[in-house]
Amino acid sequence: MAVNDLPDSPDAYKTVDEMRREGLAVHAAPGDVTTSEGLSAIFSELDRVMPDASGTTARIDILVNNAGTARSDTLATLSEETFDLLIRVNLRAPLFVMQRALTRMP
């Protein structure tokens, strides 16, 4: 099992620590899901800490793809920058995470 969050956030590590205290085998896989580089970092870390039987890639049986963000802007005040962030995190990232995960699913 793995937990992801942004590289500069301690939240994934806090979650991993809590889960390990409950006896679960879990790893942190930090990376930004909105960039190709971030996705590569995440999946490289998964491959390193959770290799499949061949020892080359992580096997993924279940993906909980729940990255998301929200802003309180109105239609009248929504900036292009905020709109782009919302699309990157809430629409684009889940698609590309699923694409990468599918290559590791049975």
Along the 106 residues of the chain, how does pLDDT read in single tens digits? 999 999 989 999 999 999 999 999 999 999 999 999 999 999 999 999 988 888 888 999 999 999 899 999 999 999 999 999 999 999 999 999 999 999 999 8
Q: Count the Cβ atoms, other than its own, within 10 Å of residue 78.
A: 13
Distance, in Å, from the CA atom of 96 to the CA atom of 103, rounded to the nearest integer, reads 11
Identify the residue whose tokens are 């684009």: 92
